[in-house]
Chain A
Amino acid sequence: MPHSPLHITCQEVVELVSDYLEQALPADEAAVFEQHLNFCDGCALYVDQVRKTIDAVGELRAEDVPEETKARLLTAFRDWRRG
């Protein structure tokens, strides 16, 4: 199918999703992308999956600094200050 700027396929959507979420798509392409999502449940679900993936990855964020580590670093800081 000839590529029309007014139409993108689902297969193209899945490659553009990151650029879209990163707000790196030019305004006209972003509009076409959003238009596609309005009419295509499959791609809306796909974008939702990508967002949920990002959320899940974000859950791997390190926990708070262990007290022991903090204490050790503070000692290092005091030693450094004393030069």
Chain B
Amino acid sequence: MSSVAVIRDEAGLVERLRGGDEAAFETLVESYYGMMLSVAQSYVKTRAVAEEVLQDAWLAVLQGLDRFEGRSSLKTWIISIVINIAKTRGAREARTVPFSSMAPEGEEPAVEPERFRGAGDGFPGHWWAYPANWSERPEEVILGRETLGVVTEAIEQLPDAQRVVITMRDIAGCSAEEVCETLELTEGNQRVLLHRARSRVRAALERHLDAA
């Protein structure tokens, strides 16, 4: 897994970029391109469109660099640019964005209630049968191509807000704070969306792995 690069001295980098330092620009591209692509992909239907979004986003970044005041971090500023452009494209692509509301709706149990003992049982709320031990599975299975295909499919089918949050957190490697800031979510709502998204993906993995 390629790790998400962290730019430590953003202010210094911005200065170098403004001065036309190509090495600084390369650092920026290498550090954030993958993260930007993942975020864009969570808003639009295809990889090709996501790449187009990034082209526009990079131009917008360059055009805005002189006006960037550092009130947000460079990273969240760039993510916001990607999201704004991706939303416009996503709307044209008839993906149901911009989302009317990012706030989680209704109740959604992480695990089907039937898997727990009922109120009349001696151990109410406890498992009928334990979940399987995935640590006994070879890593090639858990992280293999077929399993990752199931994960991709599960993320694709998530409700919009959940898909965007899990993508930003677990694929793009953004912090909770960065997600809250760019999506204008409260900490609590961010966590609920992440929880539901991870729970649904886990359930999809379980269906796949337990059937195998």
- Which of the 9-residue segments B70-78, B95-103, B166-174 touches chain A? B166-174
Whether, in the assembled complex, A59 has its beta carbon less than 8 Å from a beta carbon of chain B, the answer is: yes
B178-211 toward A: CB 8 Å interface, digit per residue (1/0)? 0000000001000100110011011001100000
In the complex, what residue of chain A is closest to B194 when comparing beta carbons?
A18
B137-168 toward A: CB 8 Å interface, digit per residue (1/0)? 00000110001100110010000000000100
Contacts known (A18-B198, A56-B151, A57-B166); A80 close to B125, Cβ less than 8 A: no
Chain A, interface SS category: helix
- In the complex, the answer to whether B135 meets A48 with C-beta atoms within 8 Å is yes
Whether, in the assembled complex, A31 has its beta carbon less than 8 Å from a beta carbon of chain B, the answer is: no
Within 8 A of A (CB), among B87-116: 109-111, 113, 116
Whether, in the assembled complex, A15 has its beta carbon less than 8 Å from a beta carbon of chain B, the answer is: yes
Shortest distance between the CB of B137 and any CB in chain A (Å): 9
- In the complex, the answer to whether A22 meets B33 with C-beta atoms within 8 Å is no
Other-chain contact of A60, B30, B51, B151 (Cβ < 8 Å):
B151
Instruction: Give 18 A-B pairs besides A45-B134, A49-B205 with Cβ atoms closer than 8 angstroms.
Output: A10-B127, A18-B198, A22-B194, A42-B127, A43-B127, A49-B134, A49-B206, A50-B199, A52-B134, A52-B135, A53-B205, A56-B142, A56-B148, A57-B170, A60-B38, A69-B51, A70-B26, A76-B59
A residues sitting closer than 8 Å to B (CB atoms) are: 1, 9-12, 14-15, 17-19, 22, 24, 40-43, 45-46, 48-50, 52-65, 69-70, 73-74, 76-78, 80-81
B residues sitting closer than 8 Å to A (CB atoms) are: 1-2, 4, 20, 22, 25-26, 29-30, 33-35, 37-38, 51, 58-59, 62-63, 109-111, 113, 116, 119, 124-127, 130-135, 142-143, 147-148, 151-152, 155, 166, 170-173, 176, 187, 191, 194-195, 198-199, 201-202, 205-206
